Amino acid sequence: MGNKTVTVAYFNISDPGSSVIPTEEAAAYHYSFSTYLPNGPLSIATVLKRDGHKVIFKDYQFSAIGSYRKISDIAEFFMDDSEVLCVGCMCNMLPYLIAALKILKRKFPDKIIILGGPGPSDVYEPLMKNFSFIDFIVRGEGEETIIELINSLDNPGNFSKVNGISYRYAGQVYHNPDRQLMPSLDSVPDLDLSLVSSKYNFFYFFTSRGCPFNCGYCNNASFWRRRVRQIGLKRVFDEIGRIIERFGVKNIGAGDDTFFASSRERIEEFATLYKKNGHTFRWSAHHRINLFDEGVMDLVKDMNMKEILMGIDSASNRMLKALGRNYTIEQALKVSKLALKYINALRVTFIYGFPNETLEDFLLTLEAILCLRDPRISVDLILLAPLKQTPICEGYSGKMSFSKGPAEVAYTFRTKLEDGNVNVSRITRAYNSVFSLPLGIPYMPEVDSLISKFPDAFISYYNYDSELTLKFEIIQEFLRFLESEDRINEAIANVQGRLIYFGKGRVRQISIKK
């Protein structure tokens, strides 16, 4: 088997250049447009290079996104003379990627296209069924799979022996058995930083892979099979040192899903190595409400930790129980306040648009946001993106719908706010919260057409039928209240015939007495 020329590409966005929200407002919304090192795709490129293949690494984050106004422009990003193209992406980028790859394959019919990462892995069956220009999908963890696959390309008879892939051969689609997770991560080589640009300004370090939990909306359980494998902390700090030396950065995040789920002894070891190595980098990490431990936080409070990120998800205890979150909203609010004893910045996330989420559930979430008013707290309110291999999606048979692409939704939202004379920047100065809007690639009608035609492949662009139009309009009124909260203490808005009360720490629907 001859060595191949392989392009490994990461398809994601970070540049606000083509955003429907101007850069100044995006900054006011507390968005960080850091260009972060994509550890997963770079690990794939690293093992391919070590195996003797010629590797070209591309990262769409560095593209002049403002000039990428057509699908053909995106397709051009992937064009080169390599024999094989491996692309990793998240679910939000899939329809843009598929539309671009169709053009690419037409121009380079002999190029082998391999998809991987969380996005394609979640919907591998409909992708392989509907898009004949996709040759392979690597499902789940990819370092071992990609080597076996590339080394089998000259002998298609061996494809059936490569676990963890879906592939096309002689006009038929085959799905091989899942590959077992690597028992140890020690065999994964250090990232080859020579493959990438020196322009990255944010990095994630990982002390483990996987998550043991099974939250209703998250597909981590299917990707990592609820198994956590740890990485030696000495190796972690060696990599951090190499990254700081190569890129000169001071802002780093723990990318683990469960960093604070580690034992107290392991976090003590992390703190010891941080101080022993004389590090001063600022860092952030995710934390789970039900695992919060003040003793553990005391260990890291003097380690330049800049931010903790917590997913509260909903302020309805009924919804939290349905999502398998193992805490109450009362506990979540208490932990949020306690966290500020140890760090100066907390970022919490709420999600709306769950199936069977009532208006009352949704209003409780807005009420919790009011309760979290603090200049040190940032809040993300995010519309649920359904993922195929999740308990929610697998267990819900109700109606789902798709109406508009992400860029058009963002444009519509902002336009309606401006029409109502709402100063978005002023809201975020007075109330440090974020109401997430999709940013980056401009609206493309052909992408909407693709999403509409193949709902199973692009399910994350669909919404559950849970009064979303009503909730969307209530959010607009909520923002208007926040924008004027320094002048008025309460407000009542008529939204589709519903009277919604906003006050200090209260958001309620008012019954009309007859």
User: What digits encode the pLDDT tens for the residues 448-483?
Assistant: 899 999 999 999 888 888 898 899 889 889 888 887
Strands 251-254 and 203-205: parallel
User: What are the CA-CA distances from residue 37 to residues 45, 198, 303, 428, 484 (Å)?
Assistant: 13, 10, 23, 28, 40
CA-to-CA distance for 312 and 365, rounded, in angstroms?
Answer: 10
CA-to-CA distance for 229 and 261, rounded, in angstroms?
Answer: 12
Q: What is the pLDDT of residues 305-323, one digit of tens each?
A: 989 999 999 999 999 999 9
Contact 310, 260 (CB under 8 A): no
CA-to-CA distance for 101 and 108, rounded, in angstroms?
Answer: 10
Domain boundaries, the chain: 5-175, 202-510
CA-to-CA distance for 224 and 217, rounded, in angstroms?
Answer: 15
Length of the chain in terms of residues written: 514
Q: What superfamily would CATH give domain 202-510?
A: tm_1862 like domain (3.80.30.20)
Residue 195: both structure tokens together: 């493959």
Contact 200, 337 (CB under 8 A): no
Domains 5-175 and 202-510 fall in the same CATH topology:
no
Q: What is the pLDDT of residues 199-238, one digit of tens each?
A: 898 899 999 998 888 888 888 877 878 888 999 999 999 9
pLDDT of residue 434 exceeding 60, the answer is no
Mean pLDDT calculated for residue range 25-47: 72
pLDDT of residue 15 exceeding 90, the answer is no
Q: What superfamily would CATH give domain 5-175?
A: Cobalamin-binding domain (3.40.50.280)
Give φ, ψ of 65 to 5 degrees: -60, -30
Q: What is the pLDDT of residues 151-191, one digit of tens each?
A: 999 999 999 999 999 999 999 999 999 999 999 998 899 99
Task: Give the dihedral of Cα atoms 32, 36, 41, 47; nearest 10 deg.
Answer: -160
Residue 377: both structure tokens together: 């707290």
Q: What is the pLDDT of residues 369-427, one digit of tens each?
A: 989 888 888 888 888 888 898 888 887 867 788 765 444 444 444 444 445 444 444 44
pLDDT of residue 241 exceeding 80, the answer is yes
